[in-house]
Amino acid sequence: MRSLFVLILLAGTGISFIYPWAMTNFSGREIGTWRVYEQGRFKPLTVSLKSSDAPVRVLVDLTARAERIVSQQRTVLTLTAATSGRTVLASTLQFNHVDNPRQASPQLPDKIFRDDAGVIATVNSGPYIFTAGPGDADDIPMRAVDLVLRSGVGEADSRARPVGFSMMAVGLIGFLLSRRSGGGRPENPNSQPPPPRWGRGAK
């Protein structure tokens, strides 16, 4: 029974965390990666998108010399996407939820932090201008910023996390209760006196 609750706990963890992360980072196909900040300068990026690319997820990779980003709810970067003079995406990025950044290079202390800027649900064929800029957190040691576009992405089901959290709670509570109910020491057969060999009750 204890192993069943462990499986429920693990399944809930996967649904709550791994499934949304995988949908964000790996669903669909990658259109490309472009550098929009380098050597202290931001530069706008123009990408030609097709209607068949929709929906397009916009991800931003920040390379910084830091173990983690502590932005204290301040904006590290801003990003907008526009086409035909119309803004189709506007996002503020903080990067402070990234607990396991990627290593930029074995020879360098820099780490790569990824944040999700959002999804362009409807795409009209034509050029899209992406403009990244600094936020109000000016003490982040940024080295580079890359824009990553993925087409045909899927969206994580909004019901997944509540279901996953419920499964985690059931699994954890069941596991703890099973440990408590089965945590007593097994009875020692030598702790009872031997049955009498003669007289009443003898065997």
In this structure, are residues 157 and 96 in contact, taking their beta carbons and an 8 Å threshold? no
Strands (E), the chain: 29-38, 41-42, 45-49, 56-64, 77-83, 86-93, 102-103, 111-120, 126-134, 142-151
Percent of the chain with pLDDT over 70: 73
The token duo for 169 is 């709670």
Residue 122 φ/ψ, nearest 5 degrees: -115, 125
Say yes or no to pLDDT of 191 above 80.
Answer: no
**pLDDT value of residue 124:** 96
Q: Mean pLDDT lowest for which of 30-34, 44-48, 129-133, 177-181?
A: 177-181
**pLDDT value of residue 86:** 97
**pLDDT value of residue 157:** 54
**Which fold does the domain 28-151 belong to in CATH?**
Jelly Rolls (2.60.120)
| 106 — pLDDT class (breaks 50, 70, 90) | confident
Say yes or no to pLDDT of 88 above 80.
Answer: yes
Say yes or no to pLDDT of 199 above 70.
Answer: no
**pLDDT value of residue 29:** 87
Question: Higher model confidence: residue 73 or residue 90?
Answer: 90
Rounded distance between C-alpha atoms, residue 62 and residue 101, angstroms:
10
Say yes or no to pLDDT of 183 above 60.
Answer: no
**pLDDT value of residue 177:** 79
In this structure, are residues 34 and 45 in contact, taking their beta carbons and an 8 Å threshold? yes
pLDDT tens digit sequence for 46-74: 999 999 999 999 999 999 988 888 766 78
**pLDDT value of residue 67:** 83
Say yes or no to pLDDT of 154 above 70.
Answer: no
Rounded distance between C-alpha atoms, residue 192 and residue 185, angstroms:
15
Q: Mean per-residue pLDDT for 107-130?
A: 94
pLDDT averaged over the chain?
A: 81
**Domain boundaries defined on the chain:** 1-27+157-179, 28-151
**pLDDT value of residue 182:** 58
Q: Mean per-residue pLDDT for 152-160?
A: 60
The token duo for 78 is 């801003």
**pLDDT value of residue 74:** 87
**pLDDT value of residue 107:** 85
